[in-house]
Structure 1
């Protein structure tokens, strides 16, 4: 099987993606295992609310999550979003494309530091995410813990000068 060229992944808005594709991703048990805030079934109503919330970030802050597309296939979503005073980076990818994380992080971080000129970026991971070597290779360092909706997350931070 040929290696996937992750440089061909395009970034677009979630509004361009058929809701069924987002719903399928968000209900995949392997994906949900790492989404502790996703407690209930993710259906049409939840998808509409989710996309509207992410679009509002773009309108209010000038940045937000993208949909990731490879060869016309929706493979996941992620990017930057406000988290309190921080700018947080996150990725939610289809299992088939979990290997794309490092390449996507690099592109997103370049956008954060070069286009948005932020001083640091955080990544919040649930304790179930034990494989963090890719984040460490990018320069992220553990920076405490945070609770969101009674769920514990480990915060990693990358400072611009890193």
Structure 2
């Protein structure tokens, strides 16, 4: 299985729109509301590309065996780097493998001593985070929605 990291701008907008319109994806994204459109996909891509320009790190598109599987990566939130992963439902099982590759990339950045994860309360299966070494630190509100917050010191991923 070949997993490639690409820029979101390399992915056709209709692929992103179909992905973000799937109710199984929306079920775990409390900030996602209403119907998703190509316009929203274009705005998402532009925002994620801006993080690369501004911070030198951002979100990738993941392409598995030549097929778009989802997106994720890092976004600076104040002094913290938050990690997010949004996979197509048929690719949910690749989450741990893709996350580890992303987190290993973060561990090579000396300015990223740790990453955070914000998970909605609907996410009950968090054993993968524990296996990575993440620990729950507190709850936060973001965009009017409640999230559980976890922290992972990046050297943990080097093992």
Structure 1 runs (4+) deviating above 6 angstroms are: none
1:76-155 aligned at under 5 Å gives the runs 76-115=70-109, 117-155=111-149
- In structure 2, the partner of 1:44 is 38
Which secondary structure state, in structure 1, belongs to the residue aligned with residue 122 of structure 2?
Answer: coil
* Structure 1, unaligned runs of 5 or more: none
SS of alignment partner, residue 99 of structure 2: helix
Decide which of 134, 141, 158 is 2:152's aligned counterpart.
158
Q: Matched residue of 1:81: which SS?
A: strand
Gaps of 5+ in 2: none
- Once residues 115 and 64 of structure 1 are traced to their aligned partners in structure 2, the CA distance between those partners, rounded to angstroms, is 13
Secondary structure at the counterpart of residue 108 of structure 2: helix
- The SS at the match of 1:36 is coil
Instruction: State the 1:116 CA deviation.
Output: 5.0
1:17 aligns with 2:11: yes
The residue number in structure 1 matching 2:58 is: 64
Q: Let me know the Cα RMSD of the aligned residues.
A: 1.1
Q: CA deviation at 1:161?
A: 4.4
Structure 1 residue 117: Cα displacement: 4.3
Alignment TM-score, normalising by the size of structure 2: 0.94
Whole-angstrom CA distance in 2 between matches of 1:36 and 1:70: 27
Report deviation, 1:159.
1.4
TM-score by length of 1: 0.93
Q: Distance in 1 between matches of 2:147 and 2:35?
A: 22
